[in-house]
Amino acid sequence: MTKPLEGRRIAVAGAGGGLGPAVCQALVDAGAWVAAADRSKDHAAPVSEIAHVTHGVDLLTEEGAQGWAQELGEVDGVLHLVGGWRGGDTVEAMDLADLDLLEGLLFHTLVHTTRAFAPLLKAAGTNGRFATVSSNVVARPTAGNAAYAATKAAAEAWTLTLAAELAETGGTANVAVVNAIVTPQMRAENPDKAYKTFTDTDEIAAGLVYLCSDAARKVNGQRLHLHG
Ligand SMILES: NC(=O)c1ccc[n+]([C@@H]2O[C@H](COP(=O)([O-])OP(=O)(O)OC[C@H]3O[C@@H](n4cnc5c(N)ncnc54)[C@H](OP(=O)(O)O)[C@@H]3O)[C@@H](O)[C@H]2O)c1
C-alpha cells in the first residue's frame, strides 16, 4: 500500500527539540524524505538517525533560512517547531529582554523560514504545506504569559496570511494548537503524573503528518486543536 507521504520532501525546523524526534519519525514512517535542521548540527543530533539529512541552521538569521532552502532546492512541506518560553511575571514586572528573546525564537525564526521556503511551497502546487505548533494561550492568555502569548499570536497571524497566499497555488498553511507537550522522556521520569492537559508528541506528530497529506488538501488557514 502506498504511504501517505511517499515521495514528499519535508523540511523540519527546530527538529532537535522536545517534539522534533516524534515528528521526524512519523514523517519517515509515512514515507516522506525528511530534512531536519536545528540551530547547530549538535542540536540536531536527536534526529540524526531518523531524518535523511540534518543541517545546522540559525533561523534567527534570514541568511541561515535562505541558505537552507537553497541547499534543499525542492521541498513539498515545511514544519516549524522552533520553541522557547519565558514568563511568570506581570506585564509591569517582566523583563523586556524576554519579549525580545521570544520575538526572535517564536516569530522571527518563523518569518525567516516562511520567507525562504514560500517560493518552494508555491512551486510544489497542491503538495505545498506549511504548519507550525502554537499554544492555547493565544486564545486564552494567562497571567504572566504576555510575551509568550503575544509572540505566538504574531506567528499564528503570519501563518494564516501565508495560508491565504498558498491558496493561490493549492497549498496550505495551518497551526496545530496544544496546551503543553509531554515527551516520552517526561512520562518516563514521572510515570505517576497524569499530564491531563498535555498532548503527547506522537499525537501532535500524527496531526502534522495529516496536515501534510492529501487527506488535508482542503484544510487551509485553520487552527487544528490537539488538546482534547
Ligand atoms: N513544549 C510545550 O509545552 C509547547 C506548548 C505549546 C506550543 N509549543 C510549540 O511546539 C513547538 C515544539 O516545541 P518544543 O518543546 O519541541 O520546542 P523547543 O524544544 O523549545 O524548540 C525546538 C528546537 O528549536 C531549536 N532552536 C532554538 N533556536 C533556534 C534557531 N535560532 N534556529 C534553529 N533552531 C532553533 C531549539 O534549540 P534549543 O534547545 O537550543 O533552544 C530546539 O532544539 C514549538 O513551536 C513550541 O513553541 C510547545
Other C-beta atoms closer than 10 Å to the C-beta of 1 total: 4
Separation CA 205–CA 209 (nearest Å): 6
The total number of residues shown for the chain amounts to: 228
In the numeric block, the cell 500524527 is attached to: 206
Q: How far is the CA of 2 from the centre of ligand 1 (A)?
A: 32
One digit per residue, pLDDT tens: the chain, 228 residues?
899 999 999 999 999 999 999 999 999 999 999 999 999 999 999 999 999 999 999 999 999 999 999 999 999 999 999 999 999 999 999 999 999 999 999 999 999 999 999 999 999 999 999 999 999 999 999 999 999 999 999 999 999 999 999 999 999 999 999 999 999 999 999 999 999 999 999 999 999 999 999 999 999 999 999 998
Q: Does the pTM of the predicted model rise above 0.85? A: yes
CATH code for the structural domain at 9-225: 3.40.50.720
Radius of gyration of the chain, Cα coordinates, nearest whole angstrom: 17
Other C-beta atoms closer than 10 Å to the C-beta of 91 total: 9
Which of 78, 81, 134 to probe ligand 1 with, by most ligand atoms within 8 A of CB?
A: 81
Nearest-atom index, ligand 1, CA of 182: 3
Q: How far is the CA of 144 from the centre of ligand 1 (A)?
A: 20
**Residue nearest to ligand 1 atom 15, measured at CA:** 18
Separation CA 220–CA 38 (nearest Å): 26
Helix (H, G, I), strand (E, B) or coil at 216: helix
Q: How far apart are the first and last CA of the chain?
A: 31
Separation CA 63–CA 57 (nearest Å): 9
Judge contact between 7 and 215, C-beta under 8 A.
no
